[in-house]
Structure formats: structure tokens, C-alpha cells
Amino acid sequence: MMKRNGTGWLFASPYLLYAVIFFAIPLIWSMYLSFTDWNLISPVYYFKGFDNFIEAVKHPGVQAAFFVTFKFMAAFVPVVIVSSLAVALVIHGLPKFKGLFLIGFFLPYLASGVVSSLIVKGLLSHNSAFNVFLRKFGIEVDWLSTPLSALLVVAAIIAWKFTGYYALILTAGFEGINKDVYEAAAIDGVTPSQRFWKITLPLLYPALFTVLILSIGVSFGIFTEVYQLTGGGPNYATNTWQMEIFKQAFTNLSAGYASAVAIIASVVTFASILVIRKLLEMWGKRNGWV
């Protein structure tokens, strides 16, 4: 038994070492920093107790990050779920070349967020062909300086990026549904609507559950698109947790305060995902899907 344990530990040691160096130590270090006013370079620094946390909770940037995340979630999750479901349904129904189309839709996921954001920035600039065309019809939108449109533009880019990835998971879910079930249902005379709600959705639930949790997780980690397109503005309308942490840590060089914000963000993320996960499980159980 001892011998088996030793070999097990030996094989697990690279991961354990990785986790200790890149996860546990930074986490403990960050927790320590969050109680100080250290800027990482000063030889003199002071313990501030919970001051950083109190200051963070009162800060408009942090308050905005809390609400903006849920706004992004409300805009991004439904769009990405519907679009990835639609893509998965179409690909599932294809007689041939499913893999090829899946790769095609997956490509935006591999695209650099910086590049796609810069392209969108060009497309939405005041003198772009798109806006010149809209102005011919009297439509004048300040896409990135209006709170709602800025939020929707960022949500749309991220939805575009993740649709193919989630469609891949959902397609695997569709492929896993036994065709015999549909045949039996057809014999029983079920309608297309019943077929979707009573057969497809329950059997797709595990894949859908995964996609929902992943997309909710993405809402808490938005950074590149916001950084490139809006910088968190206008007036904090797109200020995400990551954006706020970046600004405090790397622009204002307030490492202690930024650590406190990061810890608050982790707690909010963890608690939110836990609650949403429980709700999703309850939804599945109530419908008898799990």
C-alpha cells in the first residue's frame, strides 16, 4: 500500500509542484498583500487591516464591476446559448463534412481578442463605411461611447468568439442522443415541439449544463475586448473585474489594493457560480432530467 502511495505521489508531483508554485503561493501572497499598502517595490509598507477591502467596496469602479458582470451575463449568455445551439443543430443535421464546419465555427475562438477588437473598432469608427451607410438613413449611433451599445458590442464580440466552441460541446451532446429514442417517439406521434422539449432538451441537459456554466464563468473574466475597445468606459459602463484589477495593479501600481479587489472578485465569482449552478441543478431535477 505504501509503495503504491509513493509511486502515486511521484507521478502527481509535477502537477502538485505546478499548483503550489503557480496557484497556492500566489494566492497566499495575494491574500497577504491585500492587507497592506505595498506597491511591490517600496521598502516601506504598512498593514492596513481591512482598509483596502472597505475602500474597494465603496469605490465606483468596483461597484460598477459587480453590476457590469451581471449585465454582461444577461446579454452574453442567452445570445451565446441560442447561437451555439443553432449552429450545433445545423451541424448535427448535416449529412457530411460535420468536422469541417465545426472547425470553421471554432476558428473565432482561436482568433486573438486584440485583433478582433481592433477590427471591430475600425468597423464602428465614425467614418467607417458601416456608419456612413447608417447615417444615410438618419441613424447615428455612438457605439462605444454609449453605455448600452458599448456593453452590447463587447457582449456580441465575445458571443461570436465562443459560439463555435460551445457548438462543439453541444454537437457532441446531440451526437450522443440515441436515434432509437426519436424513432420510438415518431411512432408514438410526438410533435416537433414535444420532440425538442421532451426528448432533445432533457438528453442534451448535461452538455447544456456544461455550456451554461462555462459561459457564466466567461462573464466574470472579460478583459481583452473591454481593454481594447472601451477601457471600461463610458463612465464605468463596461468596467469588468479584470479591468478594474488591471488598472489598479498595473496603471496605479497599487498592488495591495488590487489584491483586495481580486479577492473580492474571486469570492463574488465563486459564490455566483455556486448559486447559479445550484439553480441549474434544481431546474434539471424538477424536470426529471438528472
**How many CA atoms are closer than 13 Å to the CA of 149, on its beta-carbon side?**
8
- CA pair distance 261, 144, nearest whole angstrom: 26
The correct pick among 47, 118, 119, 145 for binding another protein (CB under 8 A) is 145
The correct pick among 87, 91, 144, 218 for binding another protein (CB under 8 A) is 144
Residue that has been written with the C-alpha cell 450545433 in this structure? 88
Give the count of beta carbons closer than 10 Å to the beta carbon of residue 140. Answer: 9
First-last CA distance in the chain: 37
The 47-86 contact track toward another protein, x by CB under 8 A, reads ----------------------------------------
Binding residues for another protein, total number by CB under 8 A = 37
- CA pair distance 95, 74, nearest whole angstrom: 35
Smallest distance, Å, CB 76 to another protein?
Answer: 22
> Which 28-47 positions form the footprint of another protein (CB under 8 A)?
39-44
- CA pair distance 259, 29, nearest whole angstrom: 9
In this structure, what DSSP letter does residue 35 have?
T
The 217-256 contact track toward another protein, x by CB under 8 A, reads --------------x-xxx----------x--xxxxx---
Question: Helix 60-92 crosses helix 255-286 at what angle (to 10 degrees)?
Answer: 40
175 touches another protein by CB under 8 A = no
187 touches another protein by CB under 8 A = no
Give residues in contact with another protein (CB under 8 A): 2-3, 6-7, 9-10, 13-14, 17, 21, 39-44, 121-122, 124-128, 142-145, 231, 233-235, 246, 249-253
